[in-house]
């Protein structure tokens, strides 16, 4: 399990425990966190699970693959360093304490 903090665009924080093996997107979905729509269900075929990873975590996460990079081109105001698709982030104990912030909207 990992504690992950999801921060809405308004600043409201949701700290939840997410089981290892799920994705950060599934953790948001399963806990009713607003701001992550996940229209494609985690297939990396849209950008509606886009978040900004807290700067302290950028180098601790696996690198983006080319498919994620391509999908981030469709995200709302992507940040070249901090933007990630939560469907591509697999939860493990190494992600305990991860903080992600939702953009103003998902497109």
Residues 2-36: pLDDT tens digits?
A: 999 999 999 999 999 999 999 999 999 999 999 99
The CA-to-CA distance between both ends of the chain, in Å, stands at 30
Q: pLDDT digits over 42-89, tens only?
A: 999 999 999 999 999 999 999 999 999 999 999 999 999 999 999 999
CA dihedral 50, 52, 53, 59 (to 10 degrees): 100
What residue ranges do the domains of the chain occupy? 2-101
Please state whether beta strands 50-53 and 83-85 pair in parallel, antiparallel, or not at all (unpaired). Answer: antiparallel
Torsion of CA 94, 18, 62, 81, to 10 degrees: -110
In CATH, the architecture of 2-101 is Roll (3.10)
Task: Indicate the pTM of the whole model.
Answer: 0.97
């Amino acid at each position: 399990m990992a504690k992950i903090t999801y921060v809405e665009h308004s600043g409201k924080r949701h700290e939840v425990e997410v089981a290892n093996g799920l994705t950060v997107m599934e953790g948001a979905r399963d806990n009713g966190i607003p701001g992550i729509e996940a229209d494609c269900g985690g297939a990396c075929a849209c950008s509606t699970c886009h978040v900004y990873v807290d700067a302290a975590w950028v180098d601790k996460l696996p690198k983006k693959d080319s498919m994620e990079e391509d999908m981030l081109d469709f995200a709302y105001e992507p940040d070249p360093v901090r933007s990630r698709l939560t469907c591509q982030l697999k939860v493990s104990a190494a992600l305990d304490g991860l903080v992600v912030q939702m953009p103003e909207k998902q497109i």
